[in-house]
């Protein structure tokens, strides 16, 4: 079955706590519901499913499991095929096939590698196949910190130019002070005060992670929805704006290349700039060393960096024109260009 490339892209991320039992094993009832509801919209979208839960699915097979990093990686290597097998089983009655894609952050750091990833997904979509994505935990040298799959889903959504990004959680949306779901959010910064700092029993993340990446996605004109799977047809209703929390997208006219750049890819360092440099950036000017007040990290020319204002707000992502050491050595040098205007994406 062929799909049309004109169909919008939809990225749906399922967190560990939303698809697993208290034992850590996958909840087949939830996975079967995911397959049923996603099958209903399959003909309307090019869909990516980003699914956590591999560690929980595989940890029972690791002797004397204590949750060390090595054990988590081993559990993920066992759990990933088990999890993907469940998705395949429940999508099969609808004659929808799925594919496994294990991604690493480096796949987003190189524009060429990213385009190869996108071409592979386009080929899967053209054959009616849904990619099930997870981070390649087995070989990743980054810690399995809470933001991994929230970040991965956002990188895919931003880089691919998705229409919508959906985060599934165990609580069904962003809760206000009375524990009620906020239905609409227009300014993400204003709702961080509602975020609880405690973590779910199995998930490594929380709402703060989702809001952080939702903020980036909404800035890139992507519609973000935070929803649950506890009510009947909740995924379908959330997609229609009838359940969960809808975060209003902003406006963006970025090119495909700058969407990829704006996603952050693999950030190698950060710069802090003064007020004058911040104003110059907003006027689409290049960044000069005289406006840089702090350089963090070691990076090479051509690598991706984040730019922060003096008020500690991330205002742009850029491709560095010089190395971190060269920038540090030339902070007072006039007309020393740190990043060219064409390689800076304002956030």
Q: Encode pLDDT of 6-41 as tens digits.
A: 799 999 999 888 888 887 788 999 999 999 999 999
Angstrom distance (rounded) from CA 11 to CA 154: 8
CA distance from start to end of the chain = 38
Element housing 158 (H / E): helix 148-160
How high is the pLDDT of residue 328?
93
User: What is the reported pTM?
Assistant: 0.76
| Residue with tokens 């709702």, as numbered in its chain | 191
Span 142-166, pLDDT tens digits: 433 334 688 889 888 888 889 999 9
Span 46-90, pLDDT tens digits: 999 999 888 888 888 999 999 888 898 899 889 999 999 999 999
Please, which residues have CB within 8 angstroms of residue 281's CB and are 6 or more apart in sequence? 273, 287, 307, 315, 316, 344, 346
Q: What does the DSSP 8-state code read for residue 182? A: P
| Residue with tokens 């205007």, as numbered in its chain | 341
Residues 306/265, Cβ–Cβ less than 8 Å = no
Tell me: pLDDT of 103 over 90.
no
Per-residue confidence at 257, pLDDT binned at 50, 70, 90? low
Return the structure tokens found at 123. 């080929």
1 burial (CB, 10 Å; 0-12 / 13-18 / 19+) is exposed
The partner residues of 317 in beta bridges, in order of sequence, read 306, 345
Angstrom distance (rounded) from CA 251 to CA 221: 5
Q: Catalogue all structural domains in the chain, each as residue range(s) with its CATH number.
A: 9-256 (3.40.1160.10), 266-346 (2.30.130.10)
Angstrom distance (rounded) from CA 230 to CA 92: 23
């Amino acid at each position: 079955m062929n799909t049309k490339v004109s169909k919008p892209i939809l990225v749906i991320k399922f967190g560990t706590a939303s698809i697993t039992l208290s034992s850590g094993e996958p909840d087949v009832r939830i996975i079967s519901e995911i397959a049923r509801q996603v099958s209903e919209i399959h003909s309307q979208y090019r869909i990516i499913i980003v699914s956590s839960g591999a560690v929980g699915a595989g940890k029972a097979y690791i002797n004397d499991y204590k949750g060390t990093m090595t054990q988590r990686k081993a559990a993920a290597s066992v759990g990933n095929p088990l999890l993907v097998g469940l998705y395949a089983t429940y999508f099969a009655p609808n004659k929808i096939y799925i594919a496994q894609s294990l991604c690493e952050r480096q796949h987003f750091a190189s524009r060429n590698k990213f385009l190869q990833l996108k071409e592979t997904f386009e080929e899967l979509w053209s054959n009616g196949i849904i990619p099930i994505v997870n981070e390649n935990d087995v070989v990743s040298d980054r810690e399995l910190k809470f933001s991994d799959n929230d970040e991965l889903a956002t990188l895919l959504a931003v880089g691919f130019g998705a229409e919508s990004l959906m985060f599934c959680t165990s609580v069904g949306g962003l809760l206000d002070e009375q524990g009620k779901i906020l239905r609409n959010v227009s300014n993400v910064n204003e709702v961080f005060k509602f975020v609880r700092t405690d973590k779910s029993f199995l998930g490594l993340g929380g709402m703060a992670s989702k809001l952080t990446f939702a903020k980036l996605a909404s800035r890139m004109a992507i519609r973000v929805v935070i929803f649950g799977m506890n009510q009947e047809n909740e995924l379908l209703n959330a997609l229609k704006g009838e359940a969960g929390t809808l975060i209003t997208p902003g406006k963006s006219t970025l090119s495909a290349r700058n969407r990829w750049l704006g996603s952050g890819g693999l950030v190698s360092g950060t710069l802090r700039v003064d007020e004058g440099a911040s104003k110059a950036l907003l006027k689409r000017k290049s960044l000069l060393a005289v406006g840089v007040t702090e350089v963090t990290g070691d990076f090479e020319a051509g690598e991706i960096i984040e730019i922060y204002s003096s008020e500690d707000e991330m205002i742009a992502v850029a491709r560095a024109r010089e190395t971190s050491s060269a920038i540090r050595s030339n902070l007072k040098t006039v007309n020393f260009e740190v990043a060219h205007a064409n390689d800076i994406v304002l956030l």
